[in-house]
């Protein structure tokens, strides 16, 4: 969660104040004390959380076919490639079984 300074528009940074935690601007004297606990949880979404980043279920539209499923041995699986690491590393290939009853997902 990003908070912005209402006075100058810069990003506020979290810091520990004299009696409480607070958000402070590094450019101007604006300070906002934290009055309640701030938390946010995200579900796994499958494939170790990558499905949230990749766009959920609609990410599997318009993808190619490739190898057989290791779980049910269906002859085809959808695949897509995403650059998940730095540019000098190879792309990660994500697979999803074409068998509607199986739907197994894995990655290379």
When divided into structural domains, the chain yields a total of 2
- Are 32 and 65 contained in the same domain? no
Neighbour-count burial of 77, counting CB atoms closer than 10 A to its CB (0-12 exposed, 13-18 middle, 19+ buried): buried
Instruction: Say if residue 98 carries a ligand binding annotation.
Output: no
Indicate which CATH number applies to the domain containing 16: 2.20.25.10
Say yes or no: 62 and 36 in one domain. Answer: no
Tell whether residue 97 is among the known ligand binding residues: yes
* Among the listed residues 22, 42, 18, the one whose alpha carbon sits nearest the alpha carbon of residue 31: 22
Residue 80: both structure tokens together: 């897509």
pLDDT tens column, 66-75:
678 889 988 8
Q: How far apart are CA 66 and CA 73, in angstroms?
A: 12
- What are the pLDDT digits (tens) for 79-105? 788 888 787 888 888 888 888 888 888
By residue range, what is the domain housing residue 5? 1-40
Are both 36 and 52 inside the same structural domain? no
DSSP bridge pairs for 16: 21
Residue 69 annotated in ligand binding = yes
pLDDT, tens digit (0-9, with 9 covering 90-100), for 28-54: 999 888 887 766 655 544 445 555 555
Residue 20 in marked binding region: no
Residues 58 and 92 in one domain: yes
> Are both 72 and 31 inside the same structural domain?
no
Considering the domain architecture, whether residues 51 and 100 belong to the same structural domain is answered as yes
């Amino acid at each position: 969660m990003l908070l912005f300074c209402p006075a100058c528009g810069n990003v506020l940074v979290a810091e520990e104040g004299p009696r409480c935690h607070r958000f402070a601007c590094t450019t101007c004297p604006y300070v906002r004390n934290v009055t309640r606990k701030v938390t946010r949880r995200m579900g796994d979404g499958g494939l170790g959380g990558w499905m949230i980043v990749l766009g959920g279920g609609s990410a599997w539209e318009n993808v190619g076919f490739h190898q057989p499923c290791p779980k049910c041995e269906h002859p085809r699986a959808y695949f897509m490639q995403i650059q998940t690491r730095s540019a000098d590393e190879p792309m990660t290939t994500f697979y999803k079984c074409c068998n509607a009853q199986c739907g197994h997902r894995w990655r290379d």
